């Protein structure tokens, strides 16, 4: 009797939404070194900040949920106790903020996130740190280009927060965050629905102009839609919106405010860059003489409006975002294939020098060809 041959074992390639797909979109070469090559960053300030503020928000929510504390605002000593505990936990994983000023700024943003955002967000939270996963079949056009036998891939992610919103619940009356969400929701939303919330340890990015490459504005939109898709596999509640929270906006730096003032004076910005200002905030910013005066104190509502971006979700927008990520998987696979076939690393990986802060924090910049073309050292009196 002929025995059938056991088919070769095939593992499904896994792609994490943040670590792989967003990492590659930020810059393929940096992704190759830091994620695939596992090179630790020499200045892990950005890594520290992202992990620190996520952990502080999660821990604060847990304390409220377990009724160990009432809703914030909390006193400085209470917050400091949480911050130091998180810092010790991160230090055990060798994630340390070596720069005192950055640590101070991180603490002050975390304070604002807990004390100003927390009272609005925590009552809406249904689940925090929700792990999601799902398999995707790659389109035939991408499969043809790949160097390995791969038809599907696995997508993994961790949603920071899933909120469960009951629109007409009296306990949410007057919640500014909910008001901001409702403004952007489609007409006649269901009475009960879920909203995906994702924290970003960065300032609100500008929307890409027409003809420009997609930037962080669009990429995070894809991410939220993809989370919505993966979450929909686990819940029966409709998911009609995502919220991205740009945490740096809660405590902007001087250079952030200068950039905002320029945008305000030019009035080139759309609502995405500069939401409607209250007249008081607008006057404060417009009249601020940054060389002579201290930074203006912008209202909480204005800072919240800058920090919160609501993204309506529809089946069509989910489908488009998933297609975009299929394309990214194809691009990563192609770079891997090129490196394996040519033996050359730098030229095989896509590079993206459009986001200045990413390049500024990148250890590869000393030998990255794209970085040097944009900011090559110039001798005084020489124009290259």
Residues that bind ligand SF4 (CB under 6 A): 27, 29-30, 351-353, 358-359, 362, 364-365, 368, 370-371
Give min distance, CB of 361 to ligand SF4, in A: 8
Smaller CB separation from ligand SF4, 29 or 138:
29
Give min distance, CB of 21 to ligand SF4, in A: 16
Secondary structure of 234-254 in HEC code, one letter for each residue = CCCCCEEEEEEEEHHHHCCCH
Give min distance, CB of 93 to ligand SF4, in A: 23
How many Å apart are CA 138 and CA 311, to the nearest integer? 26
Smaller CB separation from ligand SF4, 28 or 330:
28
Smaller CB separation from ligand SF4, 154 or 363:
363
Smaller CB separation from ligand SF4, 27 or 128:
27
Smaller CB separation from ligand SF4, 111 or 352:
352
Give min distance, CB of 360 to ligand SF4, in A: 8
How many Å apart are CA 182 and CA 167, to the nearest integer? 9
Give min distance, CB of 84 to ligand SF4, in A: 32
* Residue 367, Cβ density class (10 Å: 0-12 exposed, 13-18 middle, ≥19 buried): exposed
Give min distance, CB of 101 to ligand SF4, in A: 23
Query: How many of the other CB atoms lie within 10 Å of CB of 186?
Result: 10
Give min distance, CB of 335 to ligand SF4, in A: 13
Structure-token pair, residue 247: 């945490």
Smaller CB separation from ligand SF4, 160 or 370:
370
Give min distance, CB of 30 to ligand SF4, in A: 4
- Nearest-CA neighbor of 119 among 159, 74, 78? 74
- Nearest-CA neighbor of 193 among 208, 182, 177, 206? 182
Smaller CB separation from ligand SF4, 307 or 362:
362
Q: What is the DSSP string of 320-363?
A: HHHHHHHHHHHHHHHHHHHHHHH--SGGGS------HHHHHT-G
Q: Which helix (H) or strand (E) holds 377?
A: none
How many Å apart are CA 352 and CA 28, to the nearest integer? 7
How many Å apart are CA 51 and CA 41, to the nearest integer? 14
Smaller CB separation from ligand SF4, 24 or 220:
24
- Nearest-CA neighbor of 239 among 312, 179, 298, 342? 312
């Amino acid at each position: 009797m002929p025995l059938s041959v056991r088919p070769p074992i095939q593992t499904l390639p896994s792609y994490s939404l943040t670590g792989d797909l967003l990492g590659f979109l930020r810059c393929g070469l940096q992704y190759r070194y830091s994620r695939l090559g596992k090179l630790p960053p020499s200045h892990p300030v950005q890594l520290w900040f992202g992990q620190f503020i996520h952990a502080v928000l999660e821990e604060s929510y847990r304390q409220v949920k377990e009724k160990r504390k009432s809703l914030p605002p909390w006193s400085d000593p209470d917050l400091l106790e949480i911050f130091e505990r998180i810092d010790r936990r991160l230090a055990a994983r060798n994630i340390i903020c070596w720069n005192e000023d950055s640590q101070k700024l991180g603490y002050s943003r975390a304070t604002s996130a807990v004390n100003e955002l927390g009272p609005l967000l925590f009552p809406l939270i249904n689940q925090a740190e929700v792990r999601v996963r799902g398999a995707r079949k790659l389109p035939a056009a991408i499969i043809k280009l790949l160097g390995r036998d791969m038809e599907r891939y696995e997508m993994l992610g961790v949603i920071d927060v899933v909120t469960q919103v009951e629109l007409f619940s009296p306990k949410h009356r007057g919640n500014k965050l909910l008001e901001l969400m409702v403004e952007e929701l489609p007409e006649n939303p269901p009475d009960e629905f879920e909203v995906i919330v994702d924290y970003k340890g960065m300032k609100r990015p500008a929307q890409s102009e027409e003809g420009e490459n997609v930037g962080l504005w669009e990429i995070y939109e894809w991410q939220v839609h993809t989370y919505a898709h993966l979450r929909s596999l686990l819940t029966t509640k409709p998911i009609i919106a995502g919220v991205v929270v740009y945490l740096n906006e809660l405590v902007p730096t001087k250079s952030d405010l200068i950039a905002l003032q320029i945008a305000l004076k030019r009035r080139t910005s759309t609502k995405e860059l500069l939401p409607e200002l209250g007249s008081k905030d607008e006057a404060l910013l417009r009249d601020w003489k940054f060389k002579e005066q201290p930074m203006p104190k912008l209202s909480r509502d204005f800072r919240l409006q800058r920090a919160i971006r609501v993204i309506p979700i529809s089946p069509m927008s989910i489908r488009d975002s998933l297609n975009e990520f299929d394309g990214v998987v194809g691009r990563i696979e192609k770079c891997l294939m090129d490196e394996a076939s040519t033996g050359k690393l730098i030229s095989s990986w896509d590079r993206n020098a459009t986001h200045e802060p990413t390049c500024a924090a990148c250890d590869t910049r000393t030998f990255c060809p794209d970085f040097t073309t944009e900011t090559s050292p110039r001798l005084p009196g020489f124009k290259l």
